[in-house]
Amino acid sequence: MEEFRNIGIIGRLNSNKVIETVKRLSRFLTEEGYYVILDDRIAEVIPGHNMQVSKVNLLGEICDLVIVVGGDGSLLGAARALAKYHIPVLGINRGRLGFLTDISPDDNMCDEVKAVLDGQYTSELRFLLDAEVKRDGNPIGAAAALNDVVLHPGKSARMIAFDLYIEGQYVYNLRSDGLIVSTPTGSTAYSLSGGGPIMHPKLDALVLVPMFPHTLSSRPIVVDGKSEIKIHIDGDLDIYPTVSCDGQTHIPCAPGDTITIRKKAHKLKLIHPKGHNFYEICRTKLGWSSNLGD
């Protein structure tokens, strides 16, 4: 097990509950003898904290562990920034569902964090995606995603037409509201809402989910996680679609553009308290019934 001494804290902004949790957590960690570094954005709204402050990227260089206080969206942003540093990330849930942030900010929060710091945790690697948009063969934008890369109409309500290629092999030309390319991590997010399957996080696979396709035979496709996905937007479209990564980073596209999606070289190291159970999380978060004890 790794030894954690320098601990970074990232907090979701515009939430008094997050600020309260960050204050409580940082005070606890300091009292326990850990060196705490605050993300500069959350530090601005906590006057008089007397702790070192750092930008998110630098946290990856100077910390042994980063704790994210917020929802899954906060952890997605941290994952994209920190994956290349191979630094473990732990989530405290101040959001809604909390598939990625699995410590509750209740009275037992500090005890659960202490147990993790004492080595009582499990870790797993989650892969990310890189998306690049080219126009006339020239790159015009790129971004990373932990959950999904989505081609969608942007502000338009009209359908998109595009050609899909997987590992250089032509799949189809589709007219739809777009396409979701999701990792196993993202399979319980937007992809699930679009009718995609739930994939266990350990799978090395991608799922491609058409959004409201103009044919009943278009269904989600699960492919090898190492596959290169290419989407060529029809050149005669009269709308300008958008590529969104994790719903947080957006790249404007034009008719004729090509989007290439492939696995990112760096993975996120996500850690959980002992006893973490993916199926229990699905049961709780998605409202699955349980007959145990009936």
The answer to the question of whether 176 is labelled as a binding residue is no
Tell me whether residue 54 is annotated as binding: no
Distant-in-sequence contacts of 45-54, Cβ < 8 A, 24+ apart:
45/13, 45/19, 46/19, 46/22, 49/23, 51/26, 54/8
94 is in an annotated binding site: no
DSSP code of residue 197: P
Q: Is 204 annotated as a binding residue?
A: no
The annotation status of 158 as a binding-site residue, yes or no, is yes
168 is an annotated ligand-binding site residue: no
Residue 86 makes CB contacts below 8 A (sequence gap 6+) with 266, 267, 269
Alpha-carbon gap, residue 78 to 83, rounded angstroms:
8
Is 246 annotated to bind a ligand? Reply is no
Which pair of structure tokens corresponds to residue 259? 């989007």
Q: How far is CA 105 from the centre of its chain?
A: 20
Q: Say whether 224 sits in a helix, a strand or coil.
A: strand
277 is in an annotated binding site: no
Q: Do the Cβ atoms of 241 and 154 come closer than 8 Å?
A: yes
Contact indicator for 245, 108 with CB cutoff of 8 Å: no
Establish whether 111 is an annotated binding residue.
no
118 is catalytic: no
Beta bridge partners of 128: none
For residue 117, say whether it is annotated as part of any ligand binding site.
no
Q: What span, in angstroms and rounded, lies between the C-alpha atoms of 72 and 249?
A: 15
- CA angle centred on 203, ends 199 and 204, rounded to 5°: 125
Choice among 39, 40, 64, 72 that is catalytic:
72
Report the residue count for the chain. Answer: 294
Q: Mention every residue, 6+ apart, whose C-beta is less than 8 A from residue 244.
A: 149, 150, 152, 250, 251
175 annotated to a ligand binding site: yes
Residue positions in the annotated binding site for NAD(+)?
72-73, 147-148, 158, 175, 177, 188-193, 248
Residue positions in the annotated binding site?
72-73, 147-148, 158, 175, 177, 188-193, 248
Active-site amino acid positions: 72
